[in-house]
Amino acid sequence: MIEHRKQYDIIQCFGLYLFVPPALVMRMLFGKKVIARLECSGRYGDFWRIKQLSYGKMVVASAKMLDAIIYISKEIERELLANGFPAGKLKHITNCVDVRQFIPADDLREESGNEICFVGRLEEQKGLKYLIKAVVC
């Protein structure tokens, strides 16, 4: 990051984790904006994961100094606010695909059977084992 610092203006952290404090050091040293995008809420969410760390409180305290925090759901927004994050830094951007712009070409569609596409992290939370079980049965 230091070597290529003239090639970017913003550092985006995916989730709140141990990389947030070093990203903020880059902001202080080189004037870069630092934002984070939270991954999810609840049992698998960023705050649950942070609470498992011995340095979790440091991560939360430093994350409050981020320039902006992107959240994708109302549940994540509630967790951020409950943990004392300033509402003015929170930005809502949903996960979505513009189906008017991204439409498969008609000649690529096959009518021969069911097609399933999974896009996501290979995590228990995603329930991929249930998808595989449903396809196999």
Question: What are the contacts of 26-32 at 24+ separation with CB within 8 A?
Answer: 26/1, 26/2, 27/67, 30/2, 30/5, 32/5, 32/8
In terms of residue numbers, what domain contains 66? 5-92
10 and 38, same domain (yes or no): yes
| Location of structure tokens 């939270």 | 38
Contact between 68 and 89 (Cβ < 8 Å): yes
Q: For residue range 21-68, what is the model confidence (pLDDT) as tens digits? A: 999 999 999 999 999 999 889 988 999 999 999 999 999 999 999 999
Number of domains comprising the chain: 2
14 and 58, same domain (yes or no): yes
81 and 120, same domain (yes or no): no
28 and 83, same domain (yes or no): yes
Specify the pLDDT at position 132: 86
125 and 67, same domain (yes or no): no
Segment holding 71, helix H or strand E: strand 68-71
The answer on pLDDT for 133 being more than 70 is: yes
Specify the pLDDT at position 96: 80
Contact between 55 and 32 (Cβ < 8 Å): no
Does residue 33 belong to any structural domain of this protein?
A: yes
Position 111 confidence tier, pLDDT thresholds 50, 70, 90: low
- Claim: this prediction has a pTM higher than 0.95: no
21 and 75, same domain (yes or no): yes
Does residue 21 belong to any structural domain of this protein?
A: yes
